[in-house]
């Protein structure tokens, strides 16, 4: 372009024009106007006289108004530009706001961006593309701030963010002018990092291109005064003796350490290194002061990572051995704050931290301290409390859970659970609750009689404590014995009464979770009914967060396994909200809702309502859900619906493409889906017309293909489906052709009675075809049927009258068709 040369001050204008305050000249070709030749000067931007004939020179004279920046000028000159810019308006304004304090720079930077574009194509006539390139760079440049505001797409933005960063580096080097932007950009980026904290590698990556903190000193314009004060204090920490250090630490502690500016300031001036170094000295007071600060600033996720990167955790773990209780407490509390991500959990464990933290829980330990309390000393209970806090943080990792157990943490936690101090109980119960996700913990919790205390604390005044207790019960109640224990210890009543307390959603989610798991036991459902829990649960079906809904619906699903529960739900108007929830998207919720609706559909009266609400159609459409567990749950729920609906056949046919959908689900590779779909097909096939349709859709070969399974649940439902499908046309022969018979005979070797029954039934149906009988005979079906201990015992136990007659009839049928004497049945009875 015009004068190519860039002067050391960053200007591209010739020296004699620089005196006038001019910086550079830009050619812009808007979409809808002539090429504009623009001068950028300290006063603003304006149109100049344009290129002279000389090509190398321009007419420097001003030919128009001075605008405050390039954008304003271009908006004035080009309608198209103005239109496009207004689309970017929101974002642009934001940036403008931030740049307000450096009015000179904003235009300059934009000009630089545009200039880049124009240089790329200098000489050649400027085309539309370049202009848009310039613009896209400009919008890109705005991104860091966008990233800062919006929390989404952190990962996606990352690459462009870095690109932008690189560009900025390049741009700055080229211009080599003192700039406030690196500091600011860094501050912004740091906030962005915070958002990305969860994506673990991203933060370490972005730390790589972190500029050295020295850069920040250039950016004094927009740094808060705290920053400078903190920097000074860190200097005293570095260069002071114990006395100066303690004074500096105390003074630093007076800053608002909850504020991110201060937290990051400490880090950026190298304070973290110093604070961690202090932990390695022998000075108790310095250690205490340092930990007090670290404890506060480690609430910041970035600082946590920095502390771990600087190796702070091993040092703190070592302090846990200190004879000073308050030091131990502070170290444990800081660990509790820092250990919030995987790398930290591992660091604590690898350095023996879990064992030491567990040791803190033991308050009976004879203390090595002199009898009288020292100056900085804390109570014994305090040590245990801080230990529990740290364990709570660490117990989110499975390996740590195991380490806590091995270090003997469970009995200690159980002992602490007997206190009445709420601040102690919360971390203790929370740790137990985290750990209760592990099988061996649940066993230990049962053995240590922990449930009793959890139940007791459900009646505490403290909401958080109630929440954790309910969560712990929820976790442990996977186990049947524990469910009984909760009932025996009187835990069901407080749980039921907490259901009516809906203001605290976290607690409500925990309580409904506990109710759900407990209601898996029938005796508990009876109790819940007595405490009017079902009514309360129905009330929770609307206007609640998803976590609560999932649990409440899950609980209703269990309660509705009993006729009384179903009646209550129907009478309380629970069916409408349940059916409404069928249109949701939450996977766990859908699984539970379908189960609950299915359970209700068992009752014909409820079924009428569900049908009326179009619930069956909704269930059917859930068969298209991408998640297999939702599919399976929906298919199971459809079974009672089809059984109990009036004109079920007609209803099923009314779903366009519904039957084809069901048949095609037989191609799934999920056993549960297959079993549920087989069950649904059994019910669908009760209607002759539908059976005809699914036969046309090829149900026979698909079912036959499944016959080779080892899964008893699938075997049973498959056999039932096969025997149903035999009722149509030449399906029996078709099953034989598709080699379904031989594997069915093998099913007889299963130990599951229901598989036997279903299989015998299917074989009975299949045996009406002579070829199938031959296959059965070849595979020794008769022998197996006769020797099968299950069949024999069924035959012999007169108590199971129904089964007996069933099997008799079945066997009879089989034997008739295989042309064996019927007297064999009597032989079989022996």
Cα–Cα distance for residue pair 730/408, rounded to 1 Å: 67
Q: How far is the CB of 228 from other proteins (least distance, A)?
A: 12
Residue 383 contacts other proteins per CB under 8 A:
no
Yes or no: say if 748 and 783 are a contact pair by the CB < 8 Å rule.
no
For the CB of residue 297, give the shortest distance to other proteins in the complex, in Å: 17
Shortest reach from residue 338's CB to other proteins, in Å: 22
* Residue 289 binds other proteins, judged by CB under 8 A: yes
Pick from 103, 239, 573, 821 the residue near other proteins by CB under 8 A: 239
Question: Of 98, 116, 285, 739, which one interacts with other proteins (CB under 8 A)?
Answer: 285
Q: Which stretch binds other proteins (CB under 8 A): 181-189, 229-237, 457-465, 568-576?
A: 229-237
Check residue 133 for interaction with other proteins (CB under 8 A).
Answer: no
Q: Is 324 in the site for other proteins (CB under 8 A)?
A: yes
Choose between 370 and 799: whose C-beta lies nearer to other proteins.
370
Q: Which residues contact 635 (CB under 8 A, 6 or more apart)?
A: 623, 662, 665, 673, 676, 677, 679, 680
Q: How far is CA 181 from CA 117, 149, 558, in A?
A: 21, 18, 61
User: β-pairing, 36-41 with 22-28?
Assistant: antiparallel
Sign of CA dihedral 271, 230, 190, 216: negative
Is 228 an interacting residue with respect to other proteins (CB under 8 A)? no
Minimum Å gap between C-beta 333 and other proteins is 16
CB nearer other proteins, residue 288 or residue 303: 288
Least separation in angstroms between residue 498's CB and other proteins is 40
Stretch that binds other proteins, among 145-153, 281-289, 380-388, 436-444 (CB under 8 A): 281-289
> Which string of DSSP letters, residue by residue, matches 197-208?
TTSHHHHHHHHH
375 belongs to the binding site for other proteins (CB under 8 A): yes
The smaller minimum CB distance to other proteins, of residues 111 and 286, is found at 286
Q: Tokens representing 768?
A: 């009406």
Q: State the Cα–Cα distance between residues 307 and 204, nearest whole angstrom.
A: 13
**Contact (Cβ atoms closer than 8 angstroms) between residue 117 and residue 133:** yes
Note the Cα 17 to chain centre separation in Å: 60
Position among 8, 124, 225, 243 found at the interface with other proteins (CB under 8 A): 243
Q: Tokens in use for 174?
A: 């080229």
Nearest to 259 by CA among 294, 210, 299, 207: 299
Q: How far is the CB of 315 from other proteins (least distance, A)?
A: 18
Rounded Cα distance, 538 and 578, in Å: 9
Q: In this chain, which of 198, 199, 244, 796 binds other proteins, going by CB under 8 A?
A: 244
The span of 126-134, 227-235, 458-466, 777-785 binding other proteins (CB under 8 A) equals: 227-235
Residue with tokens 């609950």: 596
Taking the complex as a whole, the smallest distance from the CB of residue 243 to other proteins amounts, in Å, to: 5
Q: Go through the chain and tell me how many residues it has.
A: 830
Taking CB under 8 A as the rule, does residue 225 contact other proteins?
no
> What's the angle, vertex CA 476, arms to CA 470 and CA 477, rounded to 5?
85
The whole-angstrom separation of Cα 388 and Cα 413 is 8
Residue 246, interface with other proteins (CB under 8 A)? yes
Q: How far is the CB of 293 from other proteins (least distance, A)?
A: 11
- 294 vs 536 by CB, closer to other proteins: 294
* Total residues binding other proteins (CB under 8 A): 32
Q: Which is nearer to other proteins, 313 or 378 (CB)?
A: 378
Q: Hey, which residues between 773 and 792 contact other proteins (CB under 8 A)?
A: none
Angle between helices 325-338 and 312-319 (to 10 degrees): 150
Q: Nearest approach, Cβ of 368 to other proteins (angstroms)?
A: 9
Question: With respect to other proteins, which residue has the nearer C-beta, 250 or 692?
Answer: 250
Residue 389 CB, nearest approach to other proteins (Å): 22
Q: Which of 376, 653, 739, 777: binder of other proteins (CB under 8 A)?
A: 376
* Cβ atoms 308, 344 nearer than 8 A: yes
Give the whole-angstrom CA distance, residue 806 versus residue 98: 83
Footprint on residues 247-266 left by other proteins (CB under 8 A): 247-251, 253-254
| Chain-centroid distance, C-alpha 497 | 30
Q: Which stretch binds other proteins (CB under 8 A): 366-374, 520-528, 541-549, 647-655?
A: 366-374
Choice between 375 and 798, CB closer to other proteins: 375
Single out the residue of 36, 113, 233, 347 in contact with other proteins (rule: CB under 8 A).
233
Query: 386 vs 795, which CB is nearer to other proteins?
Result: 386
What's the rounded Cα separation, in Å, for the pair 139 and 183? 20
Q: Where are the alpha helices (DSSP H) in 254-397?
A: 260-268, 271-279, 284-297, 301-309, 312-319, 325-338, 342-350, 353-360, 380-394
Could you tell me which stretch among 47-55, 154-162, 234-242, 590-598 binds other proteins (CB under 8 A)? 234-242
C-alpha to C-alpha distances, 484 to 448, 517, 527, 534, 666, nearest whole angstrom: 16, 11, 11, 19, 39
In the complex, least distance from residue 312 CB atom to other proteins, rounded to whole angstroms:
20
C-alpha distance from residue 131 to each of 31, 81, 137 (Å): 8, 10, 10
Residue 370 touches other proteins, criterion: CB under 8 A: yes
Cα angle, residue 67 at apex, residues 65 and 72 outer, rounded to 5°: 125
Stretch that binds other proteins, among 151-159, 354-362, 373-381, 593-601 (CB under 8 A): 373-381
Among 51, 91, 175, 235, binds other proteins (CB under 8 A): 235
483 binds other proteins (CB under 8 A): no
Residues 6+ apart with CB under 8 A from 41: 20, 21, 22, 23
Nearest to 664 by CA among 723, 611, 705, 618: 705
Of positions 7, 60, 228, 236, contacts other proteins by CB under 8 A: 236
Of the candidate spans 128-136, 278-286, 563-571, 628-636, the one that interacts with other proteins by CB under 8 A turns out to be: 278-286
Q: Which is nearer to other proteins, 370 or 801 (CB)?
A: 370
Residue (292 or 349) nearer to other proteins, CB: 292
Does the footprint of other proteins cover residue 374 (CB under 8 A)? yes
| 8 A C-beta contact, residue 657 and residue 691 | no
User: What stretch of H or E contains 61?
Assistant: strand 58-62
Q: Which two tokens stand for residue 601?
A: 């559909």
**What tokens appear for 342 in the block?**
């995987």
* Residues in contact with other proteins by the rule CB under 8 A: 232-233, 235-236, 238-244, 246-251, 253-254, 282-285, 288-289, 323-324, 370, 372, 374-376
């Amino acid at each position: 372009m015009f004068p190519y040369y860039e002067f050391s001050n960053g200007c591209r204008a010739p020296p004699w024009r620089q005196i006038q305050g001019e910086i550079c000249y830009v050619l812009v070709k808007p979409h809808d106007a002539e090429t504009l030749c623009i001068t950028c000067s300290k006063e603003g931007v304006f149109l100049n006289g344009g290129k002279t004939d000389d090509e190398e020179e321009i007419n420097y004279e001003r030919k128009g108004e001075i605008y405050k920046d390039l954008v304003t000028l271009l908006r004035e000159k080009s309608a198209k530009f103005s239109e496009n810019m207004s689309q970017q308006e929101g974002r642009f304004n934001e940036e403008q706001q931030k740049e307000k304090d450096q009015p000179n720079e904003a235009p300059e930077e934009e000009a630089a961006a545009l200039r880049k574009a124009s240089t790329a194509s200098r000489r050649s006539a400027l085309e539309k593309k370049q202009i848009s390139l310039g613009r896209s760079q400009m919008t890109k440049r705005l991104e860091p701030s966008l990233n800062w505001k919006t929390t989404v797409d952190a990962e996606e933005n990352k690459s462009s963010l870095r690109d932008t960063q690189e560009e900025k580096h390049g741009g700055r080097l080229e211009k080599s002018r003192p700039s406030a932007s690196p500091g600011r950009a860094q501050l912004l980026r740091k906030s962005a990092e915070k958002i990305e904290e969860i994506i673990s590698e991203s933060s370490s990556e972005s730390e790589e291109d972190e500029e050295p903190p020295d850069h920040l000193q250039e950016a004094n314009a927009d740094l808060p005064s705290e920053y400078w004060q903190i920097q000074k204090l860190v200097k005293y920490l570095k260069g002071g003796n114990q006395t100066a250090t303690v004074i500096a630490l105390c003074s630093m502690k007076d800053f608002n350490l909850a504020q991110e500016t201060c937290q990051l300031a400490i880090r950026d001036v190298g304070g973290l290194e110093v604070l961690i170094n202090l932990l390695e000295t022998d000075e108790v007071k310095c250690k205490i002061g340092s930990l007090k600060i670290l404890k506060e600033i480690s609430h910041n996720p970035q600082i946590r990572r920095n502390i771990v990167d600087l190796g702070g955790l091993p040092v703190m773990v070592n302090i846990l051995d200190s004879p000073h209780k308050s030091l131990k407490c502070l170290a444990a509390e800081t660990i509790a704050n820092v250990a919030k991500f995987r790398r930290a959990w591992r660091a604590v464990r690898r350095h023996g931290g879990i064992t030491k933290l567990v040791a803190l829980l033991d308050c009976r330990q004879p203390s090595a301290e002199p009898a009288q309390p020292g100056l900085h000393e804390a109570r014994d209970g305090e040590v245990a409390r801080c230990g529990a806090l740290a364990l709570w943080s660490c117990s989110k990792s499975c390996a740590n859970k195991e380490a806590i157990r091995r270090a003997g943490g469970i009995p200690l936690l159980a002992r602490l659970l007997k206190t009445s101090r709420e601040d102690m109980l919360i971390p203790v119960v929370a740790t137990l609750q985290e750990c209760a996700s592990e099988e061996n913990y649940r066993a230990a919790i049962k053995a240590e009689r922990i449930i009793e205390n959890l139940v007791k604390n459900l009646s505490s005044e403290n909401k958080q404590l109630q929440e954790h207790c309910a969560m712990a019960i929820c976790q442990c109640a996977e186990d049947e014995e524990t469910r009984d224990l909760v009932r025996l210890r009187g835990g069901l009543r407080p749980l039921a009464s907490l259901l009516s307390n809906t203001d605290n959603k976290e607690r409500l989610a925990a309580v409904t979770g506990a109710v759900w798991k407990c209601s898996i036991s029938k005796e508990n459902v009876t109790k819940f009914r007595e405490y009017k829990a079902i009514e309360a649960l129905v009330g929770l079906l609307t206007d609640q967060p998803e976590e609560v809904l999932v649990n409440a619906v899950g609980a209703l699903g269990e309660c509705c396994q009993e006729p009384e529960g179903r009646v209550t739900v129907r009478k309380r108007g629970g069916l409408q909200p349940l059916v409404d929830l069928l249109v949701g998207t939450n996977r766990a919720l859908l699984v539970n809702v379908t189960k609950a609706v299915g359970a209700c559909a068992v009752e014909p009266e409820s079924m009428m309502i569900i049908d009326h609400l179009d619930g069956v159609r909704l269930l059917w459409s859930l068969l298209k859900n991408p998640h297999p567990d939702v599919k399976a749950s929906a298919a199971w729920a459809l079974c009672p619906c089809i059984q109990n609906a009036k004109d079920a056949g007609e209803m099923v046919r009314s779903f366009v493409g519904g039957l084809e959908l069901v048949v095609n689900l037989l191609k799934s590779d999920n056993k549960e889906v297959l079993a549920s779909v087989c069950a649904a097909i059994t019910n669908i096939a009760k209607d002759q017309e539908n059976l005809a349709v699914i036969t046309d859709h090829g149900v026979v070969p698909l079912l036959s293909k499944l016959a080779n399974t080892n899964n008893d649940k699938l075997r049973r439902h498959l056999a039932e489906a096969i025997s149903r499908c035999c009722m149509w046309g030449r399906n029996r022969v078709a099953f034989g052709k598709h080699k379904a018979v031989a594997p069915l005979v093998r099913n007889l070797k299963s130990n599951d009675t229901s598989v036997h029954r279903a299989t015998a039934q299917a074989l009975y149906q299949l045996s009406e075809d002579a070829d199938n009988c031959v296959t059965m005979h070849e595979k020794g079906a008769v022998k197996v049927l006769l020797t099968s201990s299950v069949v024999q015992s069924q035959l012999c136990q007169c108590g199971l009258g129904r089964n007996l007659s069933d099997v008799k009839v079945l066997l009879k049928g089989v034997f008739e068709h295989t042309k064996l004497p019927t007297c064999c049945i009597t032989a079989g009875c022996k």
